[in-house]
C-alpha cells in the first residue's frame, strides 16, 4: 500500500516543521508531499532537512490550488491513498494507522468510501472542533454532529474539512480532484459533496486524532456563547461568501437555492458582520461583492 501525506504550506515554516516531525513520529510513516504556495520565509531550505517530496509553485494558488496540485501529483505517481493536512497540524502517533485499519474494515461493507481524522483544538485531544457536518439537501443548511457520535469508533458525515481527509485513489478516478479555482474556503465542501453525490460514504475515525490550533482565529462572545469568526480579513469574507454561493448553487435544486438557501444565508451573514466585525464597511463591501461574483460564478482569483 502506497500512502502519501499531502501538506499544503505558505510562509509558516516553523509550524510546518512541527507538522512534518509529527508525521515522521507516527506508527505508520507515509511518504510526505509538501506543496509550497511560493513561500518567501525560507520554507525551501527547511524541507531539505527532511525526507519529503517538495513541490514549489510559482505563485500562491491557495489551499485549493495546492491540494489539487498535490493530488494530481500523487495520482500520477501511483499512490493508493492520500492524507490531506494543513501545515499547522500536529498528528497523533496512531492517526494514520487508525485510518488504514478502519478503511480495511469498512471497505468490506462500503465499496465507495472516504475517511477523515477528527480534528481537536488542543494538544491533549480533549476538545473536538465539531467541523464534521450534516448537510440538508433541501435548504443547504449544515448542522454539527452531536457529541455522542464522537464517542463511537466511527461515525458518518456529509461534509468534512480538507484537513484530515483520507482519500483512496478510486475517488479521484470517479470524481476528479479538488477544484483549484475556488482558491480556498468551501473547496473541501465542494469536493466531499461531489464524492457523496457519486455514491461515496464519508466516515470519521474517532481514534485518528489531529491537533489544529484555534488561537489564530478571532472569537467573540454573545448570549453566553462563544462564536469563532472564520473570516478574519475582508478578502476572506469575499472568498467565503462567493464560494459558498457557488457550491450551494451547484448542489441544490434552483428553487431551493433561490427561495430557501440564499435569503437565509444573506440575512445571517449580514447580521454577523453588523454585530461582530469591527471594520463593517470594508467587510460589507467584500460580502456584497462575493454575492454578485458567486451568483455569476466568477472564479477568477489572483494570488494574495
pLDDT exceeds cutoff 80 at 215: no
Q: Quick one: pLDDT at residue 194?
A: 99
Q: Quick one: pLDDT at residue 303?
A: 42
In this structure, are residues 214 and 227 in contact, taking their beta carbons and an 8 Å threshold?
A: no
The pLDDT-based confidence of 231 (bands split at 50, 70, 90) is low
- Per-residue pLDDT tens for 243-271? 999 999 999 999 999 999 999 999 999 99
pLDDT exceeds cutoff 60 at 35: yes
Task: Provide the percentage of residues in the chain whose pLDDT is more than 90.
Answer: 87
pLDDT exceeds cutoff 60 at 225: no
CB atoms within 10 A of CB 220: 13
Angle at CA of residue 82, ends 55 and 161, nearest 5°: 95
The pLDDT-based confidence of 224 (bands split at 50, 70, 90) is low
Q: Quick one: pLDDT at residue 11?
A: 98
pTM: 0.94
Three-class SS of residue 56?
Answer: strand
Q: Quick one: pLDDT at residue 221?
A: 64
Residues in the chain: 304
Question: Rounded distance, CA 157 to CA 133, Å?
Answer: 6
In this structure, are residues 118 and 128 in contact, taking their beta carbons and an 8 Å threshold?
A: yes
- Per-residue pLDDT tens for 69-106? 999 999 999 999 999 999 999 999 999 999 999 999 99
Element (H, E) at 286: helix 280-295
Q: Is 222 exposed, middle or buried (0-12, 13-18, 19+ CB in 10 A)?
A: exposed
Angle at CA of residue 36, ends 132 and 44, nearest 5°: 135
- Per-residue pLDDT tens for 263-300? 999 999 999 999 988 899 999 999 999 999 999 999 98
257 DSSP assignment: I
Q: Quick one: pLDDT at residue 304?
A: 43
Domain residue ranges of the chain, discontinuous segments joined by +: 3-211, 219-295
pLDDT exceeds cutoff 60 at 216: no
In this structure, are residues 295 and 245 in contact, taking their beta carbons and an 8 Å threshold?
A: yes
Summarize the confidence of residues 227-246 as an average pLDDT.
Answer: 86
Class of domain 3-211: alpha beta
Element (H, E) at 115: strand 113-120
- Per-residue pLDDT tens for 130-188? 899 999 999 999 999 999 999 999 999 999 999 999 999 999 999 999 999 999 899 99
Summarize the confidence of residues 13-38 as an average pLDDT.
Answer: 98
Amino acid at each position: 500500500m502506497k500512502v502519501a501525506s499531502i501538506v499544503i504550506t505558505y510562509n509558516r515554516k516553523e509550524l510546518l516543521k512541527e507538522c512534518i516531525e509529527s508525521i515522521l513520529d507516527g506508527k505508520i510513516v507515509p511518504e510526505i508531499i509538501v506543496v509550497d504556495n511560493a513561500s518567501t520565509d525560507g520554507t525551501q531550505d527547511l524541507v531539505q532537512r527532511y525526507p519529503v517530496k517538495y513541490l514549489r509553485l510559482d505563485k500562491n494558488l491557495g489551499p485549493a490550488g495546492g491540494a489539487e496540485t498535490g493530488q494530481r501529483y500523487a495520482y500520477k505517481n501511483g499512490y493508493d491513498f492520500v492524507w490531506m493536512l494543513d501545515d499547522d497540524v500536529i498528528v497523533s502517533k496512531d492517526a494514520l494507522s487508525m485510518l488504514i485499519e478502519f478503511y480495511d474494515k469498512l471497505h468490506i461493507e462500503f465499496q465507495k468510501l472516504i475517511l477523515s481524522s477528527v480534528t481537536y483544538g488542543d494538544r491533549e485531544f480533549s476538545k473536538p472542533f465539531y467541523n464534521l457536518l450534516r448537510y440538508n439537501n433541501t435548504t443547504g443548511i449544515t448542522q454539527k454532529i452531536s457529541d455522542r457520535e464522537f464517542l463511537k469508533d466511527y461515525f458518518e458525515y456529509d461534509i468534512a474539512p480538507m484537513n484530515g481527509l483520507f482519500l483512496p485513489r478510486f475517488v479521484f478516478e470517479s470524481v476528479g480532484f479538488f477544484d483549484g479555482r475556488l482558491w480556498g474556503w468551501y473547496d473541501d465542501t465542494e469536493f466531499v459533496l461531489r464524492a457523496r453525490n457519486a455514491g461515496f460514504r464519508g466516515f470519521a475515525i474517532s481514534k485518528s486524532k489531529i491537533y489544529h490550533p484555534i488561537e489564530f482565529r478571532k472569537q467573540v462572545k454573545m448570549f453566553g456563547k462563544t462564536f469563532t469568526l472564520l473570516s478574519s480579513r475582508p478578502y476572506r469574507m469575499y472568498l467565503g461568501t462567493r464560494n459558498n454561493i457557488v457550491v450551494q448553487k451547484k448542489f441544490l435544486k434552483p428553487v431551493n437555492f433561490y427561495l430557501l438557501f440564499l435569503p437565509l444565508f444573506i440575512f445571517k451573514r449580514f447580521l454577523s458582520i453588523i454585530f461582530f466585525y469591527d471594520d463593517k464597511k470594508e467587510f460589507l463591501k467584500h460580502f456584497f461583492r462575493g454575492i454578485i461574483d458567486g451568483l455569476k460564478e466568477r472564479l477568477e482569483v489572483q494570488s494574495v
